[in-house]
Structure 1
Amino acid sequence: MTVSVLGGGIAGLSTLYYLSLRQNIPRVKLFEASSRFGGWVKSSIDKNTGVVFETGPRSLRPVGAVGLTTLELIEKLGIDDKVVPVHRSHVAAKNRMVYAKNKVCMMPNGPGGLIKTIPPFSKPLFFAGLKDIFTGKSKVPLEDESIYDFIARRFGKEIADYAISPVICGICAGDAKEISVKFLFKEIFEKEQKYGGVIKGAIKGRKDKKPEVPIEKTSFMNQAKNEGWSLYRMQDGIEIIPKRIVEKLTDNENFEMNLNSACEQISFKNDEAHISINGTNQPAQHVVSTLPAFTLAKLIDQQHPILANELHAIPYVDVAVINLLYKKENLLKDKGFGVLIAPSENMPILGIIFDSCIVDCNDSTVLTVMSGGRWFDKHYGKDSSDEKLLSAALDGISKILGINEKPDIFEVHLNRQCIPQYVVGHHQRVERIRKYVSDNKLPLSLGGAAFDGVGVNDVIMSSKNIANGLKF
């Protein structure tokens, strides 16, 4: 049996790795269109300062089954000694900020926020809880709604504007008024619909049985729990994960990893897939696609236009990442993880991460600015030059943080169509997509960020499930 994996990002490489752990390993070929493995996971180390710049994901959370799965992978790859944990007691774990109402506001991180009025909110959060309790059940059962509407309905517009909307910008660079509540709060939403409130659902739904993902905990996982890790980074950058997978499998005769190998078309016939790679036919008994949904859509459009239309309907956004290094300490007035910008401020940047507050940056202040996202075209139009992106980042830092100095080192990266948007109806669309694949008996598995979560943890868990679920 031959399995072809399309895409050499973290999803495709994780699929390969988990296949390598199985018995009776089939012949596996991976095809990556670009000249490097890793996809959006990309790290660079400045030669002069030794500081790591991340152009994509930068930190991971050891939370839940997906978080433990990534820890398990890191341990199996033998790079657990490269983990740099950030404990819950660390200032970067405790201090989260939002720029709203034209100023930086520290988000409540303790019970004091429930009884005190803390900007940008006009009253204590206690009243938001009361609103949820007294709002009652929806008159008409809802299958889905935007996460903004859900939070505004249950807790009020201020919570939706200044708490949830900035968080959505930080997670997926999206608009909370479009993103499905099931993106973050699927279980909470379902209990709210069942019991008539979020708080009521949390109390009455405690006995609801939740399927557990069996994961055998190791000493490394227990270490993360016992030491209270809030998040962690990787020494020399997260790209060490895909790089180590490549190193592990390079000499394995069952695995073939190909760069500069663009897929041009996929057709299915007689329980077999025929993949056109750089003009040559590559037959396979099964295909695992970790490509962006819109890319896969183009490859199958001729034979399966209905499936292609569903895949095309998943929107993606562009995000600019600007890494900045100032050879000065203590440029930041407040320490913390960073500051997210409320969309109501109508600014081109989504958030600023305080890298030098999270890890040691050798006596420098290091910041990462995320820009654009759902509003990229609105703010940048046809001019998305590095100069304009950098200028917008520096203007934002000046206005928000009061830093007017020019950075000593900077990098500008524009990641086109990098994050899929789980808009209202997304989960139903994914169900239709997978039902189509099943009903038509296509030898195709769908991985990557478009289906089971946009985070690195989500993608790795999805890849593990795909690899373990293949029958051969």
Structure 2
Amino acid sequence: MHIAILGAGITGLTLARTLSLGLVGRGGGPIRISVLEGQGRVGGWVQTQRKSVAGEDAVFEQGPRTLRPSGPAGLRTLRLLGDLGLAEDVVQVGKGAPAARKRYLYVQGRLLRLPASILDTVKASASGPLKGLVGSVLREPFIPGRPRDLEDESVQDFFARRFPGADGIQLAASAMMHGIYAGDYRKLSVRSCLPSLWEAEGRSGSLVRGMLLSGSKATTEEDEARHALKIHYPQLMEMAETSAIYSLRQGLSGITDALNQVAIQSPIVTMRPSSPVTKVILDESKAKVMDADWVVSTLPGPSIASCMKGSPGNPIPYTTPYASVAVVNMAFSQRVLPLDPAFGYLVPVREGGDALGVVFDSDALPSQDGARQGGLNRLTVMMGGWKFKQIFGEKPHPDDVLKKARRVLKEQMGIVKEPMAHHVSIQCQCIPQYEVGWWDGMRQVDEWLRSSTGAQGRMAVCGAGWGGVSVNDCVQGAEKVGHALLDHLKGKTFSGASPTLPLTGLERFRK
């Protein structure tokens, strides 16, 4: 039995670890795992640069920078960190820290602090961009629920329907979609991007009432994850209860580096960097990728579609669009921010401009400044997203990107000082856009993966393009697919033609 994993990002590496732990020494015939990665490095969009700044090793993150220690997925990731021996490297931001409580929107040419308490919300609702916020929330339970035949809608339309005339909620929603998806909330699907809100309204006909009814009740899955973490890594469980966000002292690449070492040391896993997959042929007996029996792809839908040209059967019926992001990390020798410590700010769609948002890295994670804590000021400017080509064209030069980032800092915060160090990265097609219709598209792909006229039961998928863009989502998705495969392989001996895959990775879309 040979399993090929396409992609060595956080998803592919976690899947390889999960399978290796369950299969080494199992008996029942040899099983091999090959992990194919097109780049010369592993980690995917988890990319940490450690830059020497004034003699210190400062952390520049070009991809995700912080994780949330909450929910089943967040607790799974913490358990993984414990298993990898990374618990001592965790640096946290407490729930009461400025970086947890102070976040801003850039609105009407100034930075507007978002409410962090009920009292703050009441005050903000009295005047300014968030005027009328409290009244809109109080009226929401009396607005009719969604039509029965409405299967999806945009984030903008959802909030307009539930909170008519609430301009402040629209501002916050569009900014949030910039921060998470680098996407346009007028196109993104509320059912897919904010499923808990969609489900809350579905339960009771009201978003507010549905959220109040669900309260803070944990699911069985979350209870199990919490119990396991508390038993094995009580210090991480304690951290989860007191933290808003966290990272690693040397950056999140520490996770993918550790997972890569686990894979390299496994007797049944072969890592193949610099091995781009250009063709995948699936038939009823084999997956012609490294002569594998099964393929689990963490690649985006468009990549799968390109690789499978010429494969028997119908083409993949839906591919998710992606957005590109320009990420500019900067470090200054002294504090340049015109604000007290905070996490950063996001820019709503209607403000226009180049920026999606700016993160105040030194405020959020000062321990990543090296020995010069308090002496450096690290910032990250994120630009482009759904409007990347409009801003930068096809192939922007890093110098031009840096100029635009510095212009953002000057125009939005009055920062004109030249950074001591900087790093520009163009993350092409990095964030999937779950647009209206995406949920139904995943349902179609699920059917295609199982169909004798599609992937013929030889391929499963997982990763950001298939259900959740966060690191936590990717870890959880990989572990679930891995454990499902292990359950299927338990006690079985394979000879001759291998059986079809018992799963697609998209089962939840059948509901």
Name the structure 2 match of 1:39.
Answer: 44
Q: What amino acid sits opposite 1:229 in the alignment? A: S
Name the structure 2 match of 1:10.
Answer: 10
The answer on whether the counterparts of 1:91 and 1:337 sit within 8 Å (CA) in structure 2 is: yes
Cα separation, 2, equivalents of 1:64 and 1:117: 29
Q: What amino acid sits opposite 2:237 in the alignment? A: N
The answer on whether the counterparts of 1:120 and 1:162 sit within 8 Å (CA) in structure 2 is: no
The answer on whether the counterparts of 2:328 and 2:405 sit within 8 Å (CA) in structure 1 is: yes
Query: For the structure 1 residues 348 and 271, does the alpha-carbon distance in structure 2 shift closer, same or farther, using more than 3 Å as the test?
Result: same
Query: For each residue in 1:295-338, what CA deviation from the matched residue of structure 2 results, as whole angstroms up to 9, or x when unmatched?
Result: 11111132267443412xx1001100000111113534232100
Q: Which region of structure 1 is more displaced relative to structure 2, 200-209 or 323-332?
A: 200-209
Query: For the structure 1 residues 207 and 53, does the alpha-carbon distance in structure 2 shift closer, same or farther, using more than 3 Å as the test?
Result: closer
Q: How big is the shift at 1:171?
A: 0.5
Aligned match of 1:294 in 290, 295, 302? Answer: 302
Aligned residues: CA RMSD: 2.0
The answer on whether the counterparts of 2:283 and 2:312 sit within 8 Å (CA) in structure 1 is: no
**Helix, strand or coil at the partner of 1:265:** coil
Name the structure 2 match of 1:279.
Answer: none
Query: For each residue in 1:135-172, what CA deviation from the matched residue of structure 2 results, as whole angstroms up to 9, or x when unmatched?
Result: 22234542111111111221244134321100110111
Query: For the structure 1 residues 220 and 294, does the alpha-carbon distance in structure 2 shift closer, same or farther, using more than 3 Å as the test?
Result: farther
Name the structure 2 match of 1:99.
Answer: 106
Aligned match of 1:310 in 296, 318, 328? Answer: 318
Name the structure 2 match of 1:321.
Answer: 327
The answer on whether the counterparts of 1:86 and 1:230 sit within 8 Å (CA) in structure 2 is: yes
Q: What amino acid sits opposite 2:155 in the alignment? A: I
Q: State the percentage of identical aligned residues.
A: 29
Cα separation, 2, equivalents of 1:444 and 1:92: 42
Cα separation, 2, equivalents of 1:27 and 1:184: 36
Query: For each residue in 1:422-451, what CA deviation from the matched residue of structure 2 results, as whole angstroms up to 9, or x when unmatched?
Result: 111111111110121123342211012111
Name the structure 1 match of 2:292.
Answer: 284
TM-score (structure 2 length as normaliser):
0.86
Mapping for residues 77-88 of structure 1, pairs under 5 Å: 77-88=84-95
1:181 matches 2:164: no
Q: What amino acid sits opposite 1:231 in the alignment? A: I
Q: Which segments of 5 or more consecutive residues in structure 1 lack a partner in the other structure? A: 276-281
Cα separation, 2, equivalents of 1:429 and 1:154: 25
Q: How big is the shift at 1:359?
A: 1.8
Query: For each residue in 1:152-203, what CA deviation from the matched residue of structure 2 results, as whole angstroms up to 9, or x when unmatched?
Result: 2212441343211001101110011111112343232133134221122234
Name the structure 1 match of 2:407.
Answer: 395
Mapping for residues 209-358 of structure 1, pairs under 5 Å: 212=221, 214-215=224-225, 216-218=228-230, 219-226=234-241, 228-275=242-289, 282-303=290-311, 306-311=314-319, 314-329=320-335, 331-358=337-364
Name the structure 2 match of 1:55.
Answer: 62
TM-score (structure 1 length as normaliser):
0.93
The answer on whether the counterparts of 1:131 and 1:154 sit within 8 Å (CA) in structure 2 is: no
Q: How big is the shift at 1:124?
A: 4.1
1:433 matches 2:445: yes
User: Number of matched residues?
Assistant: 463
Q: What amino acid sits opposite 2:347 in the alignment? A: I
Mapping for residues 411-450 of structure 1, pairs under 5 Å: 411-440=423-452, 441-450=456-465
**Helix, strand or coil at the partner of 2:378:** strand
Cα separation, 2, equivalents of 1:347 and 1:187: 31
1:406 matches 2:411: no
Name the structure 1 match of 2:506.
Answer: none
Query: For each residue in 1:397-422, what CA deviation from the matched residue of structure 2 results, as whole angstroms up to 9, or x when unmatched?
Result: 11111111111111100000001101
Query: For the structure 1 residues 43 and 112, does the alpha-carbon distance in structure 2 shift closer, same or farther, using more than 3 Å as the test?
Result: same
Q: How big is the shift at 1:392?
A: 1.2
Query: For each residue in 1:110-138, what CA deviation from the matched residue of structure 2 results, as whole angstroms up to 9, or x when unmatched?
Result: 01233223565252421121231232223
Q: How big is the shift at 1:9?
A: 0.9
Cα separation, 2, equivalents of 1:203 and 1:51: 43
**Helix, strand or coil at the partner of 2:430:** strand
Q: Which segments of 5 or more consecutive residues in structure 2 lack a partner in the other structure? A: 490-511
The answer on whether the counterparts of 1:298 and 1:308 sit within 8 Å (CA) in structure 2 is: no
Cα separation, 1, equivalents of 2:87 and 2:351: 41
Query: For the structure 1 residues 139 and 288, does the alpha-carbon distance in structure 2 shift closer, same or farther, using more than 3 Å as the test?
Result: closer
**Helix, strand or coil at the partner of 2:316:** helix
Cα separation, 1, equivalents of 2:132 and 2:243: 29
Q: How big is the shift at 1:270?
A: 3.0
Name the structure 1 match of 2:497.
Answer: none
Q: How big is the shift at 1:86?
A: 0.6
Q: How big is the shift at 1:210?
A: 5.6
The answer on whether the counterparts of 1:173 and 1:317 sit within 8 Å (CA) in structure 2 is: yes
Q: What amino acid sits opposite 1:322 in the alignment? A: V
The answer on whether the counterparts of 1:94 and 1:109 sit within 8 Å (CA) in structure 2 is: yes
Q: What amino acid sits opposite 1:241 in the alignment? A: I
Query: For the structure 1 residues 436 and 334, does the alpha-carbon distance in structure 2 shift closer, same or farther, using more than 3 Å as the test?
Result: same
Query: For the structure 1 residues 193 and 50, does the alpha-carbon distance in structure 2 shift closer, same or farther, using more than 3 Å as the test?
Result: same
Q: How big is the shift at 1:4?
A: 0.6
Cα separation, 2, equivalents of 1:451 and 1:467: 15
1:465 matches 2:468: no
Cα separation, 2, equivalents of 1:45 and 1:424: 38
Mapping for residues 62-77 of structure 1, pairs under 5 Å: 62-77=69-84
Q: Which region of structure 1 is more displaced relative to structure 2, 385-394 or 86-95?
A: 385-394
Aligned match of 2:134 in 126, 138, 153? Answer: 126
Q: How big is the shift at 1:376?
A: 0.8
Query: For the structure 1 residues 306 and 178, does the alpha-carbon distance in structure 2 shift closer, same or farther, using more than 3 Å as the test?
Result: farther
